[in-house]
Amino acid sequence: MNKILLAFAACVISLGSAWAQSEPTRDIRIIYIDRAEDPFYDPPPQTDGVIRIENKPPMAGAELGLKDVTALGRAANVRFILEHHTVAADGDVAADLSAIANSLPAFVLLDLPHDDLVVAAKAVQPGSLALVNIRDTSDDLRRTLCGTALFHTIPSQSAYSDALAQMIVRKNWKRVLTLIGPEPEDQELAKIFTVSAKKFGAKIVDTKPFIAGNDPRKREENSTALMTGDSDYDVIYVADTTGDFGRFVEFRQVKPRPVIGSEGLEASAWHRSAERYGAPQVNHRFERDAGRVMSDMDWSAWVAVKAAAEAVAREKAYSGPAISAALLAGKIDIEMTKGIPGSFRSWDHQLRQPIMLHTADAVIAMAPIEGFLHENSILDTLGLSDRDTNCRTK
Amino acid sequence: MKALYKTRIAALALPMIIWLGGAPASAGTGLVFVSNERSSQLTVLDQSDTVIKQIKTCARPRGMRFTPDHAKIVVACGSDNTIALYDVATQKLVKRFRDIPDPETFDLHPNGKDLYISNEDDSEATLIDIETGQVKGHFPTGPEPEGVLVTPDGKLVFVTSEAANLVHVIDVATQKVVKDIITATRPRRFALTPDGKELWVSCEMSGLVEIIDTATLTEIGRVEFQPKGMRKEEVTPVDITMTASGKTLYAALGRANHVAVVDVAKRAVSDYILVGKRPWGLRLTKDEKKLYVANGLSDDLSIIDTSSGKVLKSVPVGIVPYGILIDE
């Protein structure tokens, strides 16, 4: 009996020495930066009857990311820490960022307005620290800020638009009627969609500007029936960032043709109803912790933390410069729960990723749509290529 | 919190206990069982590979295994937090354990009663005694634990964490996680060489199988897959299965729509067989002449003749077929 016990004890000891888990030897600091009184998070106007979802800070996505990489940290002998820094309402982003950079963090997430992102990108020495935009989809940030410390995990408007264009070309709904709103943002969306349509071989057969309202003298611009009755098209593209016109297009159109863009079939980085590749589990974890649906921004924050953790665990990149370099080296497959591993583009530091095409309650397709090919990665069929930016691949 | 995990045996268990006293099932019916996770049913095929029955099950059945006597099938139902046991002969539900949070797959300890389960939503693995229904242990894992393998000697349990890219090693004697091994991206399933020395792990998002030395618990090699005409991103291996001799490994390559045939000794791919869409579940017949493949995106089985490497037949089953069992 004693012998058996002894043998057992010896076995446990040898096991302990060979495989023991050690205590974390390093802290990896991830800083989440936002701005006080950011109007982006003001409750949206609810006076026009349009149901708008209030923007919620994607800190919740970063927090889930941190939770999800805890076990990986244990295996890599590190501890991931998420710190929250808020720039004062009238504060200087550049000054705050310099101070943060001097404290040598490993990685930074930026939940900041567009103009702050531009300032932030230039406030930090390129290559010294990855600053990740988890919120702004503007193409110009990708076009003009190449070579800076700025990375993007949220897709660009072009990527969303390309996904829609791939879908309609694949369906052979190539003749498009575009309905464009009066806001500058609407015009910008339509402009980007025009480029996407041309890129994939769809044809914009007619374009109608619209305005909201019922003024009988402006029927040509506010009546869906009049605007959709005369031309011959396969699909209607709506560019409407306000939402008060677009929501009435589907089923008021004269011809039985589908609606895409701001209404109908929409493009997103992420959706609550995604049901493949482990997405339901991520949604479920997020909803359980945050008490709300995971947005594109939440997902972008979540995936950014995961990407940093992969760089730490796989490439032993423990510092700001090392993580930045590891992410750009393209050697890490970033698991995004969208079925295809991601990586960062060398020219504009944009995360390559599939785009979800969805209705309110179902993901209809994932772009890149089957059949669209690229010499480098099929994910490069979506969004800005190095030729579309001022950046060049080194 | 603890009380939540307390497992109760449903009323259905009563007739089961009486039945347990009876003779164990015989040599095998030759029936093939397929779990369909979206239509919540088991599809039953006869020896001629014809569908003879669709059984309604608990919600989202995925992992399946026979009890050692082949009398019952243990099924993990993720959406209603149930482990259910079905009688092979009558194909009826005989027992179920509730409140097992989101079970996906599991493995049975050689002692025939300790079931190690991955609880996908709860970042843990649990140990449940399938005779008493008692939950005997909880093991912390990374998010989305998936594949579970108990070594034939019953000493170690391996669990993958899909989202954390880890293989966790549970020491059965001490009931502790003794090591987390960093793997390639999205580790899913296991196969062990017959000598127990090499643990093969499929890594879905890296398009490869990693080989772990079970003595040192470190990676010692890998086999990458690249069927002709397929993009690297589409090569997403899930299930793997090894022949009894340990000479050949089959890997279902997911979106690449192929099954890879691997020479285990050479650690090299010898063939790629075109099957349905997103093959992920695999099962070899005992004589290893046929390989059944569950195609998750085309809702069918591809049945491969292993000697010629050709698909003999495709059989529509339920929605999103996941696991396959053959009673023989």
User: Which of A15, A75, A281 is facing B120, going by the closest CB pair?
Assistant: A281
What is the sign, positive or negative, of the torsion defined by CA atoms of A248, A250, A251, A252? positive
CATH number given to A25-155+269-353: 3.40.50.2300
Q: Are A112 and A123 in contact (CB under 8 A)?
A: no
What is the sign, positive or negative, of the torsion defined by CA atoms of B57, B60, B62, B68? negative
User: Which of A19, A71, A341 is facing B233, going by the closest CB pair?
Assistant: A341
Judge: A71–B174 Cβ closer than 8 Å, yes or no: no
CATH architecture designation of domain A159-268: 3-Layer(aba) Sandwich (3.40)
Distance (Å, whole) CA A206 – CA A212: 19
| CA-to-CA dists, residue A59 to A34, A64, A286, B191, B281, angstroms | 9, 9, 11, 39, 37
Residue A116 has pLDDT above 90, yes or no: yes
Q: Are B325 and B283 in contact (CB under 8 A)?
A: yes
> Closest-CA residue in chain A for B238?
A277
Residue A140 has pLDDT above 90, yes or no: yes
Tell me what ipTM this predicted complex has. Answer: 0.72
**Bridge partners (DSSP) listed for residue A116:** none
**Average pLDDT score over residue span A117-143:** 96
**Average pLDDT score over residue span A154-173:** 98
Q: Are B260 and B271 in contact (CB under 8 A)?
A: yes
Instruction: Provide the whole-model pTM.
Output: 0.84
Distance (Å, whole) CA B273 – CA A325: 39
Residue B231 confidence (pLDDT): 83
**Average pLDDT score over residue span B15-36:** 63
How many angstroms separate the CA of residue A387 from the nearest CA in chain B? 23
**Bridge partners (DSSP) listed for residue A152:** A133, A350
- Segment (H or E) for A297: helix A296-315
Amino acid in position A125:
Q
Judge: A71–B140 Cβ closer than 8 Å, yes or no: yes
Residue B303 confidence (pLDDT): 98
How many angstroms separate the CA of residue A26 from the nearest CA in chain B? 17
Chain A interface disruption, residue of B232, B233, B257, most A CBs within 10 A: B233
**Span B257-272, pLDDT tens digits:** 999 999 999 999 999 9
- Segment (H or E) for A98: helix A93-102
> Closest-CA residue in chain B for A71?
B142
The answer to whether A377 contacts chain B (CB < 8 Å) is: yes
Q: How confident is the model at residue B277 (pLDDT cuts 50, 70, 90)?
A: very high
> Closest-CA residue in chain B for A68?
B143
**Span A343-383, pLDDT tens digits:** 999 999 999 999 999 999 999 999 999 889 888 889 999 99
Residue A355 confidence (pLDDT): 98
Average pLDDT, chain A: 92
Beta-carbon contacts of A394 under 8 Å, excluding residues fewer than 6 positions away, are A346
User: Which of A16, A278, A378 is facing B162, going by the closest CB pair?
Assistant: A278
Average pLDDT, chain B: 90
Chain A interface disruption, residue of B1, B172, B180, most A CBs within 10 A: B180
Judge: A278–B144 Cβ closer than 8 Å, yes or no: yes
The answer to whether A379 contacts chain B (CB < 8 Å) is: yes
**Span B62-110, pLDDT tens digits:** 999 998 889 999 999 988 899 999 999 999 999 998 888 888 899 999 9
Distance (Å, whole) CA A130 – CA A97: 12
**Average pLDDT score over residue span B148-169:** 95
> Closest-CA residue in chain B for A72?
B164
Residue A75: list chain B partners with CB under 8 A.
164, 166, 180-182
Q: Are A241 and A334 in contact (CB under 8 A)?
A: no
Between A195 and B80, the more confident residue is A195
Give the 3-state secondary structure of residue A234: coil
Distance (Å, whole) CA A263 – CA A235: 12
Number of C-beta neighbours around residue A304 at 10 A: 31
User: Which of A72, A281, A379 is facing B166, going by the closest CB pair?
Assistant: A72
Distance (Å, whole) CA A270 – CA A287: 14
The answer to whether B182 contacts chain A (CB < 8 Å) is: yes
The answer to whether B233 contacts chain A (CB < 8 Å) is: yes
The answer to whether A12 contacts chain B (CB < 8 Å) is: yes
Which phi and psi (to 5°) does residue A119 adopt? -65, -45
Q: In three state form, how does the secondary structure of A10-74 look?
A: HHHHHHHHHHCCCCCCEEEEEEEEEECCCHHHCCCCCCCCCCCCCCCCCHHHHHHHHHHCHHHHH
Number of C-beta neighbours around residue A84 at 10 A: 14
**Average pLDDT score over residue span A92-119:** 97
Distance (Å, whole) CA A264 – CA A50: 15
> Closest-CA residue in chain A for B255?
A339
Candidate from A156-160, A162-166, B77-81 with smallest mean pLDDT: B77-81
Burial of B90 (0-12, 13-18, 19+ CB in 10 A): exposed
Taking only residues 132 to 151 of chain B, the set having a beta carbon closer than 8 angstroms to any beta carbon of chain A reads: 140-144
Residue B171: list chain A partners with CB under 8 A.
15
Q: How confident is the model at residue A17 (pLDDT cuts 50, 70, 90)?
A: very low
Distance (Å, whole) CA B311 – CA B274: 8
User: Which of B164, B181, B217 is facing A69, going by the closest CB pair?
Assistant: B164
* Percentage of chain A lying above the pLDDT 90 cut: 80
Q: Where in chain A is the domain with CATH 3.40.50.2300?
A: 25-155+269-353, 159-268
User: Which of B142, B177, B206 is facing A72, going by the closest CB pair?
Assistant: B142
* Percentage of chain B lying above the pLDDT 70 cut: 92
Question: How many CB pairs below 8 A link A and B?
Answer: 90
Judge: A72–B182 Cβ closer than 8 Å, yes or no: yes
Q: How confident is the model at residue A25 (pLDDT cuts 50, 70, 90)?
A: confident
**Average pLDDT score over residue span B268-288:** 97
Beta-carbon contacts of A34 under 8 Å, excluding residues fewer than 6 positions away, are A57, A59, A84, A85, A86, A87, A111, A112
The answer to whether B119 contacts chain A (CB < 8 Å) is: no
- Taking alpha carbons only, the member of A205, A192, A104 closest to residue A143 is A192
Query: What does the block give as tokens for A113?
Result: 């307005």
| CA-to-CA dists, residue A220 to A101, B86, B101, B215, angstroms | 55, 66, 58, 77
